[in-house]
Structure 1
Amino acid sequence: MTTYTTIQGDTWDMIAFKVFSDETLMIQIMNLNLDYIDVSVFSAGTVLQLPDVSVVEETASDLPPWKV
Structure 2
Amino acid sequence: MQLEQLSSYITQKGDTWDLISFKVYGSTDYIEQLKSANYEFLKLVSFPEEVALVIPQIEIENKGSTPEWF
Match of 2:20 among 11, 15, 30: 15
Give 1 or 2 for the bigger CA radius of gyration.
2
Q: Give unmatched runs, 5+ long, in structure 2.
A: 1-5, 65-70
TM-score calculated relative to the size of structure 2? 0.76
Q: Give unmatched runs, 5+ long, in structure 1.
A: 62-66
User: What letter corresponds to residue 53 of structure 2 in structure 1?
Assistant: L
Q: Which has the higher helix share?
A: 1
TM-score calculated relative to the size of structure 1? 0.78
User: What letter corresponds to residue 60 of structure 1 in structure 2?
Assistant: E
State the structure with bigger RCO (CA 8 A, min sep 6), 1 or 2: 2
Aligned residue pairs, count? 59
Identical aligned pairs, as a percentage?
31
